[in-house]
Amino acid sequence: MNDEDSKEMAAAGSHGVEYDVRFNRPLNERELIDTLRSWMKTISSELTSERGIIGHIKAFFRCQGGWVRLNLVDLRLDLDVDSSIEGDVRSGRMKIMAALVGMKDGDIAGGMDRGTSSFKHDFSDLVRIGESREKEIIKLEG
């Protein structure tokens, strides 16, 4: 049996990051999901524009009113979204993890940062995202 790392064999990389999220106004469940979906699409567009092939991009948003889980495996398909949100949301915590073929860990981290920066600029009237704290994400809860 070959002990070579499957990540290396696939020329794949991965990166996870966690954000504290603050909204300028309360968002209902639909507005929250639409905002998180836009954020994920901005990140995925940034990553695939840099030659990466998506293995998966997953995100999990948790707040006092519940959670939202997002999963993307192909840009041609819509994001898979599950939610348990009740009431309006003003803040929460977002964990995002991306695994792509053809990109190194550091390149994925840079692409996620650029996608998030672009998203913050595009949606600055709707959402403010705090400074990121890198954190190893072993599994997404939910």
Give the integer Cα–Cα distance in Å for 61 and 19.
Answer: 9
Chain-centroid distance of CA 8 in Å reads: 23
Chain-centroid distance of CA 51 in Å reads: 18
Tens of pLDDT, residue by residue over 83-131, are: 999 999 988 999 999 999 989 999 999 999 999 888 876 664 444 454 4
* Mean of the per-residue pLDDT values of the chain: 82
Strand partners, 14: 99
Strand partners, 57: 72, 98
